[in-house]
Amino acid sequence: GESVGLHLPTLSVQEGDNSIINCAYSNSASDYFIWYKQESGKGPQFIIDIRSNMDKRQGQRVTVLLNKTVKHLSLQIAATQPGDSAVYFCAESIYGNNRLAFGKGNQVVVIP
Amino acid sequence: DAGITQSPRHKVTETGTPVTLRCHQTENHRYMYWYRQDPGHGLRLIHYSYGVKDTDKGEVSDGYSVSRSKTEDFLLTLESATSSQTSVYFCAISESTGGRRTDTQYFGPGTRLTVL
């Protein structure tokens, strides 16, 4: 099917290694951030979120770090598995009224 | 997919024909959204709804209209489809009660639309 990963930055990771995916956000007033995972031919899947009153949040095998000083968000995936191969993108709330702005994404390829 | 279905999943149509895409949710969430996704772009908001009969435009609303007559259904209509509307369309829902707080959006499986 059509790939939404065309022309995206690509991170190649050995299976079992940790992955770090970065996102620079645009608005210092944004107070809510989400990471999504999108596999080919599927809809975006929620991974983890964080609000601006926190700088770190952990989930199962994933950690999100927020650095408000430099407007940077990162997603760390521990012990990367082949099923983690996908496009990952961040979203920020910049408009209010429950709207999000989405980044273009990063392609993660896990090498067995 | 968080209780969200989209229909049809695939459609091929001709330029100038009307097309309606349907999003149905079983979560009773207040907010519903229509996005389009194209290579080289992030998800772009077309229209959204914050309640029954309450809708507003997103960043790429030209050529699209929406309707929400029931909490569970949000329809996207292309009155006269053009080739530039060939895309993958995603519906999303959010439970937010509104105001300044933004909450998580959950996405449906998508509809692939091709306009010839």
Domains in chain A: how many in total? 1
Residues 54-73 of A with CB under 8 A from B: none
Which DSSP letter does residue B43 get? -
Best residue of B43, B97, B106 to probe chain A, by most A CBs closer than 10 Å: B43
Query: Per the domain annotation, does A78 fall within a domain?
Result: yes
Q: What is the pLDDT of residue B95?
A: 85
Query: Per the domain annotation, does A86 fall within a domain?
Result: yes
Q: What is the pLDDT of residue A95?
A: 63
Q: What is the pLDDT of residue A96?
A: 65
Chain Cα centroid distance, residue A105 = 7
What's the pLDDT band for A107 if we cut at 50, 70, 90?
A: very high
Q: What is the pLDDT of residue B39?
A: 87
- Fold classification of B4-115 is Immunoglobulin-like (2.60.40)
- Domain range summary for chain B, segments of one domain joined by +: 4-115
Contact B42 A97 (CB under 8 A): no
Phi, psi of B33 (to 5 degrees): -140, 150
**Tell me: the pLDDT tens digits for B65-79?**
999 999 999 999 999
Would the pLDDT of B101 be above 90? Answer: no
Residues 6+ apart with CB under 8 A from B93: B2, B4, B25, B27, B29, B31, B32, B33, B105, B106
Using CB atoms within 10 A of its CB, is residue A112 exposed (0-12), middle (13-18) or buried (19+)?
Answer: exposed
Would the pLDDT of A58 be above 70? Answer: yes
Contact B102 A93 (CB under 8 A): yes
Q: Tokens 């707080």 map to which residue? A: B101
CATH of the domain at A63: 2.60.40.10
Q: Residue range A30-55: average pLDDT?
A: 94
Query: Per the domain annotation, does A2 fall within a domain?
Result: no
